[in-house]
Amino acid sequence: MKRYSQAVDFLKKITFVLVAVLLVAGINGCASDIQTVQFKINSEPEGSHVALKVSGPNRPRSSEWIYLGHTPIRIVRQFVEDDVPGAKITLKVMHAGYYDQVREWDGEVFLNEAVKAGVLFWTPELVPHPAGQ
């Protein structure tokens, strides 16, 4: 009887390990590729606010801006490759008393530029508002 109990316990453990391996393999097989993009954003004047927006058909919250911080910024963001085709990536730099500067990419161009260069550099020179506006 003891051998039978040990055999059943062994089979339970083997079954558990096999199920775990299959689940991990299934999850990895279904996962989309993730692209890591490094941003280096500065501005003139420094201390400007930077925001990022990714909009497109695969993005349910496409109208939301993500605040990245003050310049100079050195930040890494991850993008799901399946979401990028057809998307628009927008960076905006803002500073009180200056006009906003905006830079936009189409999704595939954005990833190609980021992967080719290894980093996305941007240093906009903000233009002051005329007095009284």
Q: Are 104 and 86 contained in the same domain?
A: yes
Q: Are 84 and 24 contained in the same domain?
A: no
In tens digits, the chain (133 residues) has pLDDT values of 667 677 667 767 777 666 666 665 555 545 568 888 899 999 999 999 999 998 877 666 666 899 999 999 999 988 777 777 788 889 999 999 999 999 999 888 888 888 788 888 999 999 998 864 5
Q: What does the DSSP assignment read for 25-45?
A: HHHHHHPPPEEEEEEEE--BS
Q: Where are any strands of DSSP class E within 16-95?
A: 34-41, 49-55, 66-70, 73-80, 88-94
Q: Are 62 and 41 contained in the same domain?
A: yes
Confirm whether 83 is domain-assigned: yes
Range of the domain at 4: 1-31
Q: Are 57 and 20 contained in the same domain?
A: no
Q: Are 63 and 109 contained in the same domain?
A: yes
pTM of the model: 0.68
Q: Are 8 and 71 contained in the same domain?
A: no
d(CA 41, CA 91): 10
Q: Are 13 and 38 contained in the same domain?
A: no
